[in-house]
């Protein structure tokens, strides 16, 4: 059954408090679109298009072009091209999960806290620790490996018992550097290392060679890529950014049928996108590990 909705969209820009440094470069402002669908009874459903083009999603301009082409009314369900996964997410989430009020469901979610790169990390965990955060994530592959290993060891010593640490290289390490990291890490020191290298073949080789749990992220950034990892034999952890992964229905089915070990991750979307993701995750029971979504502290 299709229903007709009035359709509006608007562009937003949110500057980060700190410029985000990742192995992909610097990121200072989150830009995206908020969509609104209004049904015949006058109820509103909200969605968010939060693209990350270097992660395999469409660009903001492509999303705007598509939304503009729709005009002022849409019928849902409708076809959205596969090359627009962030747009597919926004529409697939709006009606089932974008109803008001848009307050994220917090119960049962342990947030993971994104720490800043470099030496700032040594102090940056303290405040969130006091606020009750126990899972932290730190980006590596940003500076020289020797320097990062040194900071990492100081961080390990500083973190209280009970803290969980995840490392994320954003596919930025060479195979050799990945091996250096993995052989330097004491077993049990981290929860997992996220996407040390770019190639799936090398990820599979690392998983065979080292016991430290590994996660694919960039390689699994949308449903097609996720399927490919699975088919090529990846049985480690999958980091999933629902905001850019395509339609939520397809994603739920794939995760559940194969019982994947999943970590939900933020695309640094606003509370509109987060609310939808958390409502979806709670309904579909896809969260076992802490969700990597505690990022509102990154915005003014
Ligand atoms: Mg990652």
137 Cα to the center of ligand 1, angstroms: 9
Q: Which fold has domain 3-97?
A: Enolase-like; domain 1 (3.30.390)
What is the mean pLDDT of the segment spanning 203-218?
Answer: 97
What's the CATH number for 111-298? 3.20.20.120
Q: Where are the domains of the chain?
A: 3-97, 111-298
Look at residue 102 in the predicted model and tell me its pLDDT.
82
Query: Residue 219: which of 26, 206, 209 has the closest Cα?
Result: 206
223 Cα to the center of ligand 1, angstroms: 16
Is the pLDDT higher at 164 or at 107? 164
Question: Catalytic: 241?
Answer: yes
Look at residue 110 in the predicted model and tell me its pLDDT.
58
What is the mean pLDDT of the segment spanning 169-180?
Answer: 96
Give the tens place of pLDDT for each residue, 69-95. 999 999 999 999 999 999 999 999 999
Question: Catalytic: 139?
Answer: yes
215 Cα to the center of ligand 1, angstroms: 8
Give the tens place of pLDDT for each residue, 109-167. 556 888 888 888 999 999 989 988 889 999 899 899 999 999 999 999 999 999 999 99
195 Cα to the center of ligand 1, angstroms: 6
Name residues whose C-beta falls within 8 Å of residue 267's C-beta, 6 or more positions apart in sequence: 50, 52, 55, 86, 241, 243, 244, 273
Q: In what order do the strands lie in the sheet with 214-216?
A: 261-264, 237-240, 214-216, 192-194, 164-168, 135-139, 111-115, 291-294
Give the tens place of pLDDT for each residue, 186-206. 989 999 999 999 999 999 999
Catalytic-role residue among 120, 161, 164, 241: 241
Catalytic-role residue among 139, 161, 164, 285: 139
Is the pLDDT higher at 56 or at 39? 39
Residue 100 in tokens: 């008001």
170 Cα to the center of ligand 1, angstroms: 5
Query: pLDDT band at residue 23, thresholds of 50, 70 and 90?
Result: low
Ion ligand 1 nearby residues (CB, 5 A): 168, 194, 217
Longest Cα pair distance anywhere in the chain, in angstroms? 61
231 Cα to the center of ligand 1, angstroms: 21
């Amino acid at each position: 059954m299709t229903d007709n909705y009035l359709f509006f969209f608007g562009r937003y820009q949110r500057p980060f408090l700190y410029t985000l440094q990742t192995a992909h470069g610097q990121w200072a402002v989150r830009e995206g679109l908020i969509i609104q669908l209004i049904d015949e009874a006058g109820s509103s459903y909200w969605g968010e298009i939060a693209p990350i083009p270097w992660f395999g999603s469409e660009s903001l301009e492509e999303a705007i072009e598509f939304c503009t082409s729709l005009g002022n009314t849409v019928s849902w369900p409708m076809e959205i091209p596969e090359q627009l996964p962030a747009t597919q997410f926004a529409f697939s989430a709006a009606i089932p999960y974008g109803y008001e009020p848009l307050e994220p469901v917090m119960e049962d979610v342990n947030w993971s806290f994104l720490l800043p790169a470099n030496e700032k990390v040594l102090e940056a965990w303290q405040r969130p620790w006091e606020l009750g955060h126990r899972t932290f994530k730190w980006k590596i592959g940003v500076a020289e490996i020797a320097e990062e290993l040194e900071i990492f060891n100081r961080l390990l010593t500083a973190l209280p018992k009970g803290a969980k640490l995840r490392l994320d290289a954003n596919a930025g390490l060479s195979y050799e550097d990945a091996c250096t990291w993995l052989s330097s890490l004491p077993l049990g020191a981290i929860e997992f290392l996220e996407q040390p290298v770019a190639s799936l073949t090398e990820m599979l080789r690392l998983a065979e060679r080292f016991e430290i749990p590994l996660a694919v992220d960039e390689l699994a950034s949308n449903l097609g890529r996720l399927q490919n990892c699975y088919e090529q034999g990846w049985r480690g952890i999958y980091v999933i950014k629902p905001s850019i992964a395509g339609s939520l229905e397809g994603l739920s089915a794939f995760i559940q049928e194969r019982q994947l070990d999943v970590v939900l991750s933020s695309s640094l979307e606003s509370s509109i996108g987060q609310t939808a993701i958390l409502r979806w995750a709670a309904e579909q029971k896809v969260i076992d590990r802490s969700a990597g979504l505690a990022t509102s502290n990154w915005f003014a």
